[in-house]
Each structure stands twice: as C-alpha cells, then as structure tokens.
Amino acid sequence: MTVDGEVVGAIGEGLCVLVGVTHDDGHEQASKLADKIWHLRVMDDDAGVMNRSVADTTREVLVVSQFTLYGDASAGRRPSWIAAARPEHAEPLVQAVVDRLRALGATVATGRFRTEMIVDIQNDGPVTVLLEL
C-alpha cells in the first residue's frame, strides 16, 4: 500500500481486508469482525482445499480503511455514501479491528486513514468474501 510514493503497509501471503464502517457500528462489531477474519477458513491446506485460516498459516493481514464500500448506486448513476460513517466514528473502529487482530497474534499492516492510497493486490485464487456483522 502506497501513499504519496511511500510504501506504508505491505504483507506477504495473507489476507487483504477492506474495512468499511457505517453509523451503527461499534466496538462490539469491530471485535467480532477481527475474530471472524482471524478464523475464516479461506487459506489452502496441503491438499489445496480452503480449509485453513490466516491464524493457521501466514498470520499476515493488510487492513485497508475503505469508506466507499458503503457506496449506494441503487438510484441514478452517482453513488451516495450516506451510509458510510464519518471519519471521527470510523477511524477508531478500524483501529479496533487492527488492535484486536494484533492481540490475536496477527502481523498487521495498514494504510493511512484519510489519504489517497494505492493498494496493489495480487489476488491468488481469486477469493473475495463479503463479511457483514
């Protein structure tokens, strides 16, 4: 993950997690989300079957704050981000996800909140999972 030409967060093999926060989210949801990410069985086992978690494998997680996940394009052609939490509410909750993952034993890299980030993802699989709590 790069900001203004500087690499600010990088991992090897692991999970890239785009975290969006809405108005109703709180620390309980942040903790549950981190636990779900940590134990989600989407990593290959020795037979090539998605049967292991990041906790069982690389322990590496890249957490990217992504308010645009709450973009609503159901009406018209311009998305609305009304459902996305204001930065003052969202930033501590994204940090709570990071803190909980680290407490569980993850090596966590992050970007910088409220910056234009270039996220370079090599999606090996590809596997994309939407988690809503």
State how far Cα 83 lies from the chain centre. Answer: 18
Supply angle C-alpha 95, 55, 52, rounded to 5: 130
Among the listed residues 22, 57, 67, 110, the single catalytic one is 67
Task: Clarify whether 95 is annotated catalytic.
Answer: no
Task: Clarify whether 113 is annotated catalytic.
Answer: no
Among the listed residues 22, 57, 68, 113, the single catalytic one is 68
Which residues, other chains included, contact 91 with Cβ-Cβ below 8 Å and sequence gap of 6+?
Answer: 65, 113, 114
Among the listed residues 2, 22, 66, 107, the single catalytic one is 66
Which residues, other chains included, contact 41 with Cβ-Cβ below 8 Å and sequence gap of 6+?
Answer: 50, 51, 52, 53
Q: How far apart are CA 133 and CA 36, in angstroms?
A: 10
User: Which residues are part of the catalytic machinery?
Assistant: 66-68
